[in-house]
Amino acid sequence: MPFATAADGARIAYDLVGAGPPLLLVSGQASDRNIWRPVRDAFAARYRVVTFDHRGTGDSDKPEAPPYSTRGFAADAIAVLDALGIPRAHAYGMSMGGRICQWLGIDHAPRIGALVLGCTTPGNAHGVRRPPHVDPVLLSGDPERMLPFLVSPAWAAANRSFLAEWQAWMLAHPVPPHARQLHFQASEGHDAWELLPRIAAPTLVIHGSDDEMNVPANAQLLAGRISGAELHIIPGARHVYFWDHGEEAHRVVQAFLDRHPL
């Protein structure tokens, strides 16, 4: 497993598959590279796909201090690109990863081609907060409790083997309680609202219509705040829209990236 070294010395684990223009996939809160597995494999036919484990997750270091932040996670992502010698990449983030990608577009504009902001928000200060009953589920890290918020029951019933592999991975790569809390605080503390108009990268905002973890009203807010941003809502999709509506999600994102080559 290769590692990049963050500014504070934390080791950030990463994977690289495929060939072509680089595409950085940024996972969500207390989530590691495994959530991108089907997406990574689909894009690897045309892209050099980079996935990584946030600090606190997967095979990366799990420091207890300093406090984590979405802006800091963006700096970790740049450390991964640096380790690979990649000067510029597309960036596709989901959930908290979409918040991190906002900072990539703001703080690291020369390093970013196109941005895809999936199932994310501008932060609670200016966004629409999730229903309060979802917070304990997020903090629990329990795959069984989270699953109904991630995908539809019909998709879950038809994809039991995939979900069993996902759950086995999560059990084998636990996020320690301190890191889960630090991730939650980082995500809840995100606020890039005032700086979002600075994003000059071509941006696609994509969201499931039935997402309770990050409600879809936030997609309209982000698209309205970022100049020229495109918006796509996937009917019937829940939080991990690229699992239960993978074909549509891939088609939309691929067409967007095709229109904005590096």
Average pLDDT for 3-14: 98
> Whole domain around residue 197: which residue ranges?
3-259
Length of the chain as a residue count? 262
Token pair 């790569």 in the structure block, residue: 173
- CATH classification of the domain holding 177: 3.40.50.1820
Which residues are CB-neighbours of 10 under 8 A, at least 6 positions away?
A: 55, 60, 61, 63, 76
Total domains in the chain come to 1
Q: Residues with Cβ < 8 Å from 207, sequence gap 6 or more?
A: 118, 119, 120, 214, 216, 218, 219, 232, 233, 234, 237, 241
Q: How confident is the model at residue 83 (pLDDT cuts 50, 70, 90)?
A: very high
Instruction: Decide: 232 and 220 in contact? Cβ < 8 Å.
Output: no
Q: What is the CA radius of gyration of the chain?
A: 17
**Per-residue confidence (pLDDT) for residue 152, from 0 to 100:** 95
Residue indicated by tokens 């995939």: 162
pLDDT exceeds 90 at position 143:
no
Q: Which pLDDT score is estimated for 80?
A: 98
What was the pLDDT predicted at 141? 82
Among 86-100, 162-176, 220-234, the range scoring the smallest mean pLDDT is 162-176
pLDDT at 138 over 90: no
What does DSSP say about strands 48-52 and 112-118: parallel, antiparallel, or unpaired?
unpaired
pLDDT higher than threshold 90 for residue 32 = yes
Other CB atoms within 10 Å distance of the CB of residue 190: 25
